[in-house]
Structure 1
């Protein structure tokens, strides 16, 4: 069986059983609900996630911040359970429950003992399908979210990352902060949040992924029974929604240096531009290039800026990939009077790779770093649950461990130089968050 399996939206069956994976299966339930599981018989726990392919990019102009607001409100109660009931359900069994909003998806997840999986399915199904969105609770949570945004605004690194996304994706919905802004959170109404909830929280949008000590057929049975009790309509002939398009999107890069004044001792410096989307064929070469450039203590940024010159404590590079566009960034934290010097040094390192490539030793080290990280990441049920979610929502294909490692090992020095050239040739913006200069 191939280590990489395409997943048509109507596919049902076994995806793979090779390459360090347990049996991975996918079913489409009535209503178009998709269930993907990975059986790990040696585990006594399960991580389960309920995914909706809605993120901050999908919000209407009058409802900015609704997706993240919903993430909070779904824990505040249903017709059947109070907020305390939801919290107590997981606390009494030593489990953990949480949620995460991203720019293209929202996930409600729990890590529990295998014997407590029926409870987790019942409770999260109730939250997802039957949230009250009580107006009083919404006002309480509005204050909580404003405090969360204030905490992020006090972190200059967070401010720099949000500003870079806004500068390199100008005009695109992905440029907006996931949590909204204080102004949009104060302005959004219950009716707008409720409309967002009704638009996206539907059977054909729902994806459930789970990994650990489980039986696929039993998970499907429990999910279907919980959904039937919820009152959702589940027609037998309903199909899942199609995945997002990967056609390139339009977005502007606002070039130049953008200085955001904050009363801090250290400047947070980010240089970035457009990168690859989540399905670009060069994404594995990009991972290797990013590892060599700024992916660890042996990376070029760390060695040149911190170890040799002592200009920063923290420095790294990253790439953020979305369905139709991506962007990259080079980060360092340094004293304000060195900000422009450090920004230039980071750019120079990227351009050196684009011009001269990397050494065989760097290629071998990056492959090993990525391969080891991939294997270690998949040793817990949470990572495997998330891998299934990404396969279903983002890539439309499942790649087992052997396949992932083979793709990393197949990257060549020429491919790394070429992808660095693509990034180096892109228009770039520099963000500096620090005191008045």
Structure 2
């Protein structure tokens, strides 16, 4: 059935007749409501801002019994100075090590005993702590995450123990050819800048970080106005807001008033720098990434880019997969990808092959990229790319975790939260000419090449 969506301006009544604002000092509004063809509500997105600046965004999903919660901090590896390289990721690890009322084991047990899943990750633009539980156990997840983010101890022995864990993680990534080649590609593209450096830091930078540096970093960047809590699933918005307010109001964390702060939109990203970077590793294969400039996160042409990337190397029917693997047998894996930030982006192709086939593989990939840059894609390829995007989007958003991630990112970066129908409409509106023009612009410039192998 076809869904339809409505947007309710701030301060107006909801469809159920309840006022959008729930109490003085707390601003709440309905972002949009989606109904099925029979008029039944299938999802509703609401946003509340506490006086402290903490933002809470929820999506109530009909017909599910799970709930997912994410706590988003608007700081990542690209916000670090050279002396603090790897600090965001280090802090992410340390917030699991214990609070004033919970040990590291207590944190794990709290979620394990209700069958929940929880984890965290650090990106270049942000850090996210997330959990997924049965709907009835959501308060447990919210309380644990709030405790970790606001009341962690960061004890010196834990800092030293986790330092060794992170050094092992860096060594593990250095043994993974895929990680090595993508890090090398970013370094070549953006140079020795925060955006070009590896998220986890280096052995030298992690060994040099002190507990006081990490603690100050935490206090400076984890403030109510820089945090977002996103929740999706079988939930009630008002109940979630109460639970979040209670979980985060430890040690006066929510005292004071502030306006929400979005992630800085203009940092120090450099223009993509063409060139070739290589790293010798005793691997069986040569791994390569070939590409160049992409689009920013908010560029209106990002839907055309999605179609281009998908048709180029996003499926088994894509041009690169058919030409590289099916027709020539040059590689087991070949795919295209995009990386998008507030002020920069990349478009690339990744593949791995036996050393003897490296030159032939590069020749074929370069030929296909040049062909698409010059002549664009066929109408059939564009149509397949649109279909792949539509299907992947709809299937992905059937999961509460995917909805939660979408909410959190949109709120954190201050970007428009489109409904599913709006996104599908923009994908369908992409034309063959738009894809061809974009391909000529992005694929016709200087190339960035990273090679890792024997």
TM class, shorter-length: over 0.9
For 1:251 and 1:6, locate their aligned partners in 2 and report how far apart those are by CA, in whole Å. Answer: 39
**1:258 pairs with 2:274:** no
Q: What SS class does the counterpart of residue 23 from structure 1 fall into? A: strand
Measure, in 1, the Cα distance between the counterparts of 2:263 and 2:282: 44
Q: Distance in 2 between matches of 1:4 and 1:170?
A: 43
Equivalent residue for 1:224, pick from 245, 253, 264: 245
1:13: which partner in 2?
Answer: 29
Q: Deviations over 1:297-343 (max 9, x none)?
A: 00111100100001100001111001110112111111112213312
1:393 matched to 2:393:
no
- Alignment of 1:96 onto 2:117: yes
2:190/2:269 contact within 8 Å kept: no
The whole-number CA distance in structure 2 between the counterparts of 1:355 and 1:58 is: 38
Q: Which residue is equivalent to 1:199?
A: 220
The CA deviation at 1:204 is 0.5
Measured at CA, do residues 289 and 185 of structure 1 come closer, stay the same or move farther in structure 2, by a change above 3 Å? same
Correspondence for 1:326 among 320, 330, 345: 345
1:313 aligns with 2:324: no
Who is 2:261 aligned against?
Answer: 241
SS of alignment partner, residue 249 of structure 2 = helix
Is contact 2:274–2:292 with CA below 8 Å preserved after alignment? no
1:57 counterpart = 2:78? yes
Q: Who is 1:125 aligned against?
A: 146
Q: Which residue of 2 aligns with 1:413?
A: 432
Aligned mate of 1:340, from 359, 367, 378: 359
CA distance in 2, matches of 1:3, 1:305: 45
Alignment of 1:295-306 (within 5 A): 295-306=314-325
TM-score w.r.t. structure 2 length?
Answer: 0.91
1:375 aligned to 394, 413, 431, which one? 394
| Unmatched runs of 5 consecutive residues or more in structure 1 | none
Whether the 8 Å CA contact 1:278–1:395 is kept in 2: the answer is: no
Shift of 1:2: 7.2
Q: Distance in 2 between matches of 1:11 and 1:243?
A: 21
Give the Cα–Cα distance (whole angstroms) in 1 for the partners of residues 413 and 324 of structure 2. Answer: 35
Match of 2:179 among 154, 158, 170: 158
Moved over 3 A (4+): 1-7, 246-249
Indicate if the aligned counterparts of 1:55 and 1:104 stay in contact, CA closer than 8 A: yes
CA distance in 2, matches of 1:110, 1:6: 30
Partners of 2:69 and 2:264 lie apart in 1 by 23
| Highest RCO, 1 vs 2 (Cα 8 Å, sep ≥ 6) | 1
Change (3 A) 1:4 1:247: farther
Instruction: Give the aligned length.
Output: 431
Q: CA deviation at 1:228?
A: 2.2
2:272 and 2:292 in contact (8 A); partners too: no
Q: Distance in 1 between matches of 2:439 and 2:197?
A: 26
Quote how far apart the aligned CAs of 1:344 are.
Answer: 2.6
RMSD value, Cα: 2.0
